[in-house]
Amino acid sequence: MTHEELLALAERAAEHAYCPYSDFRVGAALLTLSGEVFCGCNVENASYGLTICAERTAVGAAVVAGHRQFSAIAIVQGAASSLEPCWPCGACRQVLAEFNLDMTVIFRAPEGLRTMTLRELLPHSFDVTRLQVP
Ligand code: THU
Q: Which contiguous run of DSSP H or E holds residue 54?
A: helix 54-64
From 15, 55, 98, 111, the catalytic residue: 55
For the stretch 15-30, pLDDT in tens is: 999 999 999 999 999 9
What pLDDT band is residue 121 in, cutting at 50, 70 and 90? very high
For the stretch 22-59, pLDDT in tens is: 999 999 999 999 999 999 999 999 999 999 999 999 99
pTM of the entire predicted model: 0.96
Q: Which atom of ligand 1 is nearest to the CA of 43?
A: 12
State residue 82's pLDDT score: 64
Q: Give the number of residues written for the chain.
A: 134
Q: Rounded to the nearest 5 degrees, what angle is found at the Cα of 4, between the Cα atoms of 90 and 43?
A: 40
What pLDDT band is residue 83 in, cutting at 50, 70 and 90? confident
